[in-house]
Amino acid sequence: MGKRGGKAANLETLKRHHATMGFRLLLDEHLELERDGERIGLLGCQNWGRGFQQYGDLAKTVAGSEQLPFRVLMTHDPTHWDEQVLGRGIDLTLSGHTHGAQFGVKINGTTYSPAQWIYKHWAGLYEEQGERLYVNRGFGFIGFPGRVGMPPEITVFELHRA
């Protein structure tokens, strides 16, 4: 669960709305998904990041998932990956938070953004120690209600057995 304004009442309201829509929030927990005999773990850790209250408990989130052959962790802030996730054998971490700073300039095929001076991992796919982090730029905004050179993003991953 991402930013929530720091109020417990906000979280309870969000939980109710998500339940009404049929969504299950993964708040420091995981579930096992199985299809055609193939299993993966989907892990969800509450908000964890610089400058915000850190609600997430990664140890609780991961506990009991170690036997799953492939694990996907959802955590809001990509700084969590460097601080706690990397080295735990999580195959893929999905993150957001940065919005790519909602501003970017493309020069010779490379995109530059103010986000890269704030976040080590700010957009796209990163790999270290055989683990991967994907930072989605999202489709919303914070502050300035727009984007310049940083288009909205919805990412679709298709997983295949190796």
pLDDT digits (tens, 9 = 90+) for 18-57: 999 999 999 999 999 999 999 999 999 998 777 777 889 9
48, 75 in Cβ contact below 8 A?
yes
For the chain, the domains span 26-135
Collect the ranges in the chain with pLDDT lower than 50. 4
- pLDDT value of position 4: 47
78, 122 in Cβ contact below 8 A?
yes
Is residue 13 classed as helix, strand or coil in its secondary structure? helix
- pLDDT value of position 154: 95
| Tokens (6 digits) for 10 | 């906000």
- pLDDT value of position 117: 86
Strand duo 92-95 + 105-107: pairing: unpaired
- pLDDT value of position 62: 98
Alpha-carbon dihedral sign for residues 29, 18, 123, 79: negative
- pLDDT value of position 6: 53
Between the alpha carbon of residue 11 and those of residues 15, 50, 53, 64, the distances in Å are 6, 19, 13, 25
Is residue 54 classed as helix, strand or coil in its secondary structure? coil
15, 1 in Cβ contact below 8 A?
no
Please compute Rg for the chain using Cα positions. 16
